[in-house]
Amino acid sequence: MVKKVFPKNFLWGNSTSSMQTEGAVKEGGKGKSVYDTYRAKDGTSIWDTAIDEYHRYPEDLDLFANLGINCYRFQISWSRVNPLGDGDFNPEGIKFYSDLIDNLLARNIEPMICLYHFDMPLNLAQKYNGFSSRHVVDAFVRYGKKMIDIFGKKVKYWITFNEQNLYFMPGATKIAGKIKGKETMADLYIISHHLMLAHAQIANYLHEKTSAKIGGMLAYSEVYPASSMPKDILYARQIDEFLNKNLLDAFVLGHYSNEVVNFVQKNNIQTGVLPSDLAEISKMKSDFIAFSYYQSSTISSTLVPEKTAPNYYFKFGGKENPFLPVNEWGWSIDPDGFRDVLTKTYNQYHVPLFPIENGIGLRETYYGKEIQDNQRIEYHKEHLRALEKAINNDGVKVLGYLVWGLIDIPSSAGDMAKRYGMVYVNRTNTDLLDLKRIPKKSYWWFKKVISSNGASL
């Protein structure tokens, strides 16, 4: 039982991306995104329908309202509102989001907009190789500013890039829309810098034109050393510095990490950073820091070859943590890691934090009886207790807590078997069935948590 409840006006909610929810990829004047190319051999794609949110959102928003949530983070699909990414805007696409926002506000649910969640307009991927090009940075800023001009008065909470630190990890050029050529270490630095530059321009514009709030967003996984061996501890710290703090420093302090800048200079990595870019970044303010948290990770230095760069350590040195349970997909369950991420980040940066994705993927099938997802209830209960301790014992300022995929959606790999929801969606990977929404046991549990503002935990 928690002794103290959550702060007044705490935001309880849901978090999704457009391609994992909307479907309707050929409707409303939407242009193609890279997701239209992710197809099975028979030509089908789970993303064509996803959970059909494009047509069913009023029903889903009623489920949110009945649950009592007061915040919904969703993504504007760039290629729906701007089919080529750098051409004309699509009034029908804009109307879709405008209606969605009005429907949310009518139910007292604060919208939170995310501008990019890995689905580069295909035109920009094919012509310019996505965010490896400055043309695409400019196109993104143009799109972001347009969305701010249209929605900046109604929507109080904004983020630009989903999990911006992932672009620094090997394999990340794909989510940046770089579809041609091999990936080099310099690519990761160039793309990461382009994203920060775009984020800074949008944050500065939003602050100039509106009173809305914007923050950077990371996938924050607590990293543990596999042992007390000093090199394991050094590697865990370096990962945190290169993958997380480098960006947090930029978001909050307006400059990249000293250690990372030195690494770039020493290794002569050609990042193409211009003095005017750094000036733009230095002007940036973050009203909050948003992050996703699902699990923690463990690094063993002995598995990592000599001279490996810190952002590549996990490619070789990731290890299971013997102290933590895992789900079927090997994702560890670590609420203490959640508290530690919250407290250490707030201690260092003193900016309100906003965990906007949390949850556990479980395999579930509906057989006509309510799904008893006790494991999910336990997961959220433990993470909320950790959050409550961070707030009330450690003094961390937290804006809210958003659950990932509160209504079931396909996983990032396009797998409907891995579900995060408190509401079941009746479809499989290959069969749309009736797409019916059916609350699980956790839905009713979460409703009590929200209505008591955490006191029922």
Q: Which listed residue (22, 241, 357, 388) is catalytic?
A: 357
Of 167 and 256, which has the nearer Cβ to ligand BG6?
167
For the sheet containing 223-225, what is the strand order?
223-225, 297-299, 318-319
Residue from the set 30, 80, 194, 418 that interacts with ligand BG6 by CB under 6 A: 418
From CA 415, how far away is CA 50, in angstroms rounded? Answer: 10
Reported as type and span, the H/E element at residue 340 is helix 335-349
Q: Which helix (H) or strand (E) holds 193?
A: helix 185-209
| CA distance linking residue 193 with residue 258, whole number of Å | 15
Stretch that binds ligand BG6, among 28-36, 150-158, 392-400, 412-420 (CB under 6 A): 412-420
Give the residue with the Cβ less far from ligand BG6, 148 or 217. 217
Using DSSP, state whether 297 is helix, strand or coil: strand
User: Six-digit token pair at 247?
Assistant: 């960006």
CA 32/CA 94 separation, integer angstroms = 16
In whole angstroms, what is the distance from residue 411 CA to residue 421 CA? 11
Q: Which amino acid is at 420?
A: Y
Region from 271-279, 305-313, 377-385, 408-416 binding ligand BG6, contact rule CB under 6 A: 408-416
Give the CB-side neighbour count of residue 261, counting CA atoms within 13 A. 9
* Residue 412 binds to ligand BG6 (criterion: CB under 6 A): yes
Q: Name the minimum Å distance from CB 122 to ligand BG6.
A: 19
163 binds ligand BG6 (CB under 6 A): yes
Give the C-alpha separation, 263 to 188, whole Å: 14
Cβ 42 vs Cβ 12: under 8 Å = no
| 218, 164 contact by CB (below 8 A) | yes
Active site residue 357: yes
Q: How far apart are CA 117 and CA 20, in angstroms?
A: 10
Instruction: Provide, rounded to whole angstroms, the least separation between the CB of residue 16 and ligand BG6.
Output: 8
Nearer to ligand BG6, 240 or 277 (CB): 240
Where helices occur in 214-310 by DSSP H, the ranges are 230-239, 246-248, 258-266, 275-282
The interface with ligand BG6 within residues 336-365 (CB under 6 A) comprises 357, 361
Query: Is 404 a residue that touches ligand BG6 (CB under 6 A)?
Result: yes
CB of residue 379 to ligand BG6, shortest distance in Å: 13
Report the alpha-carbon distance of residue 253 to residue 250 in Å, rounded.
Answer: 5
Nearer CB in complex with ligand BG6: 321/412: 412
From the number of C-beta atoms within 10 Å of its C-beta (0-12, 13-18, 19+), residue 127 rates as middle
Question: Scanning the structure block, which residue is given the tokens 């307009």?
Answer: 121
Count the residues of the shown chain that bind ligand BG6, applying the rule CB under 6 A. 12
Among candidate residues 22, 110, 163, 241, the one labeled active-site is 163
22 binds ligand BG6 (CB under 6 A): no
Q: C-beta of 238: minimal distance to ligand BG6 in Å?
A: 22
- Applying CB under 6 A, the span of 22-30, 122-130, 279-287, 409-417 interacting with ligand BG6 comes to 409-417
| Distance of closest approach, residue 361 Cβ to ligand BG6, in angstroms | 5
158 binds ligand BG6 (CB under 6 A): no
- Candidates 180-188, 333-341, 411-419, 446-454: pick the segment binding ligand BG6 (CB under 6 A): 411-419
At 117, which helix (H) or strand (E)?
Answer: none
Decide whether 163 or 187 has the Cβ nearer to ligand BG6. 163
Q: Does 413 bind ligand BG6 (CB under 6 A)?
A: yes
Question: What part of residues 204-233 is at the interface with ligand BG6 (CB under 6 A)?
Answer: 219
Sole residue written with tokens 């949850």: 359
Closest approach of Cβ 346 to ligand BG6, in Å? 22
> Are 125 and 34 within 8 A, CB to CB?
yes
Closer to ligand BG6 by Cβ: residue 411 or 453: 411
**Contact between 327 and ligand BG6 (CB under 6 A)?**
no
* Catalytic annotation present for 382: no
Given the rule CB under 6 A, which residues bind ligand BG6?
17, 162-163, 219, 292, 357, 361, 404, 411-413, 418
The catalytic residue positions are 163, 357
